Structure formats: C-alpha cells, structure tokens
Structure 1
C-alpha cells in the first residue's frame, strides 16, 4: 500500500517520458539491437523509478550511475540515436535534483556521459543524422540550464510570497495589539468615570440635590460625547498612520524582506490630508519595492523647500525596463488630488522615484 501510494504521488510526466523506451524494446526484440539490451532497459525503468521514488542517498546514487551507464553503453552497442536519452538524465537533474550544484557529482557524471555519447554520433552516422543529433544535444543542454533558471526564479518568488505573507501577518498583529491597547486605555478610563459619575448622580438625587445631580448628568453626556470622538480617532488611525509611523513600519517590513533601509530626514511641517496622501504613497512604494524590485538596499530622503515636501526613494533593484509614464499611476493619481506629482528620476541602477506635494493648510500642519 505504501509503495502504491508513492506511485500515485509521482507526477504523470515522469511516466510519460518512459514511452520513449519503446524504441530499445522494439529493436532488441526485432534483432536491431543485441537482445540483452531488452533486460538492460528493464533495469533502466527500475533505476529511473527508484530515483524518483526513493530517498536513500546511496541507493539513489547507484541508480543514477546505472542510468548513465545505460545511456553510454546502448549508444555504443545499440544506436547513436540513444544519445537522445540524455534528456532522461537532464530532466531528472532539473526536477528531481534541482538543488544540486553545477559542479556536483551528478552534474559532472552527466557531462561525462554527454561527451562520451558524442563519439558514436560523430563516428558512426551520416552527416544529416550527425546534424540532427548534435542539434538535439544542444537543445538538451539549453533546456537543462533554462529550466534550472525558471525553477530557481519560481522558488525565489515563492519564498518572497511567503515572506510577504508573514510580514502582513506581523503587521496585522501589531495593528491589533495597538488598537486593543488604545481601546483599553481610552474606554477603560471612560467607563470608570461614567460609573463614578452615574453613582454620584443617583446619590445626589436620593438626597434631593437635583441641581448637582443635573450637573453630573451633563458631565456624563460630555464624557460620552468626547469618548465617541476618541473612538472615531482610533478607528481613523487604523486606516492611516502618521508619516513617522509609516516610516517605522516600512523599516520593519524591509528588514524582514532583507532590504537595508537608510532614512535621511529633515523636520518638516505638513497638512494632515497631505500627510495622509504621502503616507499612502510611501506604503505602496514599499510594497512594490518588496514584491518586485529584488533590491538589497533602499534610501528614503525627506526634505522641505519653498512650501513643498519632497520624498526621494532610491533602491538598487532591477528597476523599470522601459518608462512609459503609466508606471505607479495609482500613486500619481493620489498625489494629483493635492496638486502633488510623482516622477521617476532614474529607471534603474539606481532606481529613483521622487514624490512632491504642497505642505497644505498652515492651520493643520503637523510636524514630522
């Protein structure tokens, strides 16, 4: 049952490739190849499936060596066309031993097999067959290295996705803790005050001090009104952080993503709405940086001049292949609402994105 379960787990493409073994079977039975190649091919199937299914290093290595032996032996003693069975070896290297180094045991043995099978191809075939088999050999090598790169890139993207998910969970947990603490500090104090005030009002009413009781009830109303405003502010804070808080959160996110962040910051004064727009723009830039840039370092520079706040974000990632003017349009649209602008100063090496926004209403300035 355990063996059957392993058979079911093997990807169907491993089985499909075995269809090519019909050729050595056919020619060994029809007399085109020596008959013992029939039995060697049976062992080839056993070794091939053993590599796919088993984990024991010694057994797997022995099976691998047998596959290498089979390809070389049958190419010399059967037909040079069997050199195309190098595809079996290259596919196993990519899909079964994807973490092997290019100078490791299996790759070195593959190179030796590849070189060994070139001799019968060049010595025992006509020119047309030689050209065809040499082209197939080049295709085999090309696919090997191309698929290695694709798998490597896929793994990097999967790791990045997992890292982004963990960052999002951490940020959500921090946000929940902050909200919980804010509500506890605010509402706990409010309910305690309301309890004291209501008990005092009842006591005053029992003693006929209605004017004093009325004052306590008015205080209760004011407390309830103020607490509603505080709760609204807490809810609003869930949606938007200050620029200072956003920079701190961005620093934590980039650190988790393995990106070194440097912040060069002047003290700036900015209106609340403009600060919110700039904060959201920075958040989106940070998310794009983590997901797409492949950068290892980032620099953020904040400055203020002539009634404008400027943010320059620079990284050493892959940047933009071609700047069309449509990049990061959501950030551009967000800033335009406040007469701001976004400009890609440098598309790569380094990538530089500049955000400019007016300081806004002087009466609503906050200092960052």
Structure 2
C-alpha cells in the first residue's frame, strides 16, 4: 500500500494552512513580472513554499537551521528582484525564529534576520516616500520584536509542561511514600498486637490445667485484642491511625505485663499536652516499636520508660536490662522505621547497647513546622 503524503505534521492542526492566506500578496507581485525576473521570482517563491513546509517537518532537528537560512535567502532575493514589499514575508520567518529554545541560536538568527530585512529597505530608501517609510517602519519593528514574544510563549509552555511532569512525579512519590507508610504502620502497629496475642496464647496454654478460670479470662482478653487489631487494620487502610503518647504508654505497660517484664515510669505524662497530634502519633509508634523489641528480642526482666521535657522539645527513653542488640539488627525494619518516622518530625534517635541491656532515646522538637501539625514560629 502507498504511504499517504503528509503536508504538515498532524500535531499542528490547521495552523500552518491558515498562514498560507498571506501568500496572496507575493503572488500578486509575481503576476506583473516578465522575463528573467518572472523565472527567478517563481523559482524562489516555490523554494520559499518548500522551506515553509520543511520548517514544520524538521522542528527540533539540526536541519531546522538549514531550512530557516534558505527561507531568509528567498525573502532577500524576492525583495531585491521582484518588489521591496516582499520583505513582508519576513513575518513567516519571525515566527520560526521564536521556536529556538537555545538562547545563543535565537540571538544569532535574529541578528541575521534583522540584516536580511534591512537590506531591501536600505537599497530602495531613495525611491521610498516619507509616507511609505512611515508605513513600513512599524511592520519592520513588529517583525523584529515578534520572535521575542513567540520565544517567551513557547518557553512558558515548556515550563508548564515540565511543571505538569513534576506534579505527576510528585504524585508518584506520594503513592510510593503512602505504600511505605502502610508497610511501616502494619509493622509498627500490628507487630506489637500480634506479639501480645502470642504471649497471651502461651499463657492460656499454661493456665488451662492450673487455673481454668484465669485461662478463660485471658482467652477473652485475646478475643478483645484481636477485635481491636481488626479495627486498627480497617482504620489503617482508610487513614493513618492517630495515637497519643499516653495511649502508647498504656499499651506498652500491658505488653510488658503480659511478658512478665517489670516496668518503671519516670516523668510526668501531663507534660505532653501541647505536643502536636501528628508528632504524638509518630513518637507513639516509635515507643510501641521499642517496647515490642524488648518483648520479642531482649530477654529482659525490667524496663524503664522515661519522659523528659528539654529546653527545645521532648525526649523519650526506653531502657531494659536484656541481652542487648546485635550489630546486624541495627539496620532491621523496626529501627529503620523508627528513624524514618522521627526524621519526618525533625527528631533524632540514639541507641546504646551492650550485654547489660539497651538504652534507646528518641527526641523531637516541641514546636513543629506547619506540615507536622504544629505552630509555625
């Protein structure tokens, strides 16, 4: 099958065809020429038409400058051989010069264009009356100025396209961050719940024979915990689960009690009343993660949770007398997730661990920025 010939790229629509109306003027001047001037004029005009098409077809390629130079040469020939008014064809060239995105090329071709448009007027200035000069001058100045307007418009369109692309990229990053947030919340929020269920299940197995009534009570507690976990999952899917530090301390106390780990509380919980909600939620999840690690990995018998209000924020310490953290665990998902959460609220994490236990301290500023939910100062 024969391939269909495309006069102009489809992406430009009818725009290139509309400007062909202005070719009626050079056709009028060519109509009255004779002899060698007619042959030169018609040939040059046909080449001009070819350059007009090729400039649309080669936009953005190295051939664009070649066709633009040839078009300016055609305008110069037509203006000198046929009629000085042919310099009005320069409006076509002025449009194409504005397509250059590289500033150096734009300036070079604009200067060449200015010279090409000036030559016909300069060579025929003695034959032009004052009224003709007054008529030509505004159009001459408009032709030299219009590339700047087109260049500025196309540059703005390009910046808007880049901005739209950046917005799309940001949306993708937000989606990715949301997936990471859900993964962290599943680990931090549900990890301690399942640990609690596991501990209570082991306790029930031990109490079934020794203390059946206590075993039934613990089994009911497991049921309540599992239902609460189900509610947490539903809330997690719809939005970030908000939890205060006071609530997290209560959960931590219950977890440690179920694991037969003694807990000592140091500091006043009332000092947390002015901590922004989002900051409280991040800190609470870090606290729950720290206590979960004690229950699951430390083999500790005692723990201390210390709240301290410093001059620039809040400090929360979680200490145990367990076996410590091995070096390969420092990059685990739990500690990594804590560091990421604290980074969101401009907080910091400090860990010291040896065979005598682990001392984990995380702190965060009291006055948060607006995106953290606090008061901007």
TM-score normalised by the chain length of structure 1: 0.57
- Structure-2 residue corresponding to 1:282: none
Number of matched residues? 262
Unaligned runs of 5+ in 1: 246-265, 270-302, 313-333, 341-354, 357-368
- Structure-2 residue corresponding to 1:141: 144
Aligned partners of 2:98 and 2:149 also within 8 Å: no
Question: Cα–Cα, structure 1 residues 180 and 107, in superposed 2: closer, same or farther, change >3 Å?
Answer: same
Cα offset, 1:70, TM superposition: 1.3
Cα offset, 1:22, TM superposition: 1.9
Match of 1:177 among 170, 177, 180: 180
Which residues in structure 2 correspond to 1:132-281 (within 5 Å)? 132-191=135-194, 193-194=196-197, 197=200, 201=204, 210-224=212-226, 227=229, 237=240, 241-242=278-279, 267-268=312-313
Which residues in structure 2 correspond to 1:86-125 (within 5 Å)? 86-95=90-99, 97-99=100-102, 101=104, 105-120=108-123, 122-125=125-128
Cα offset, 1:136, TM superposition: 0.7
- Aligned partners of 2:225, 2:138: CA distance in 1, in Å? 84
- Aligned partners of 1:7, 1:236: CA distance in 2, in Å? 48
- Aligned partners of 1:109, 1:43: CA distance in 2, in Å? 19
Cα offset, 1:138, TM superposition: 1.2
Cα offset, 1:7, TM superposition: 4.2
Give per-residue Cα distances to partners, 1:329-368, cap 9 Å, x unaligned: xxxxx99xxxx8xxxxxxxxxxxxxx56xxxxxxxxxxxx
Larger Rg: 2
- Aligned partners of 2:211, 2:138: CA distance in 1, in Å? 105
Unaligned runs of 5+ in 2: 243-276, 283-310, 315-364
Aligned partners of 1:29 and 1:38 also within 8 Å: no
Cα offset, 1:175, TM superposition: 2.7
Which residues in structure 2 correspond to 1:74-89 (within 5 Å)? 74-89=78-93
Question: Cα–Cα, structure 1 residues 46 and 238, in superposed 2: closer, same or farther, change >3 Å?
Answer: farther
Aligned partners of 1:121 and 1:133 also within 8 Å: no
Which residues in structure 2 correspond to 1:279-290 (within 5 Å)? none
Question: Cα–Cα, structure 1 residues 238 and 223, in superposed 2: closer, same or farther, change >3 Å?
Answer: closer
- Structure-2 residue corresponding to 1:31: 33
Cα offset, 1:228, TM superposition: 6.1
- Asked if 1:131 is matched to 2:131, the reply is no
SS in 1 for 2:98: helix
Question: Cα–Cα, structure 1 residues 106 and 227, in superposed 2: closer, same or farther, change >3 Å?
Answer: same
- Asked if 1:51 is matched to 2:55, the reply is yes
Which residues in structure 2 correspond to 1:314-353 (within 5 Å)? none
Give per-residue Cα distances to partners, 1:201-241, cap 9 Å, x unaligned: 58966x69531321222321452366468658856647974
Question: Cα–Cα, structure 1 residues 125 and 32, in superposed 2: closer, same or farther, change >3 Å?
Answer: farther
- Structure-2 residue corresponding to 1:328: none
Cα offset, 1:69, TM superposition: 1.3
> What CA RMSD, in Å, does the superposition of the two structures yield over aligned residues?
4.3
- Aligned partners of 2:221, 2:167: CA distance in 1, in Å? 48
Question: Cα–Cα, structure 1 residues 98 and 133, in superposed 2: closer, same or farther, change >3 Å?
Answer: farther
Aligned partners of 2:76 and 2:116 also within 8 Å: yes
Cα offset, 1:89, TM superposition: 0.8
Give per-residue Cα distances to partners, 1:281-303, cap 9 Å, x unaligned: xxxxxxxxxxxxxxxxxxxxxx9
Q: Which deviates the most, 84-93 or 18-27?
A: 18-27
Aligned partners of 2:68 and 2:96 also within 8 Å: no
Question: Cα–Cα, structure 1 residues 171 and 127, in superposed 2: closer, same or farther, change >3 Å?
Answer: same
Aligned partners of 2:114 and 2:144 also within 8 Å: no
SS in 2 for 1:4: coil
Question: Cα–Cα, structure 1 residues 21 and 170, in superposed 2: closer, same or farther, change >3 Å?
Answer: same
Aligned partners of 1:21 and 1:41 also within 8 Å: no
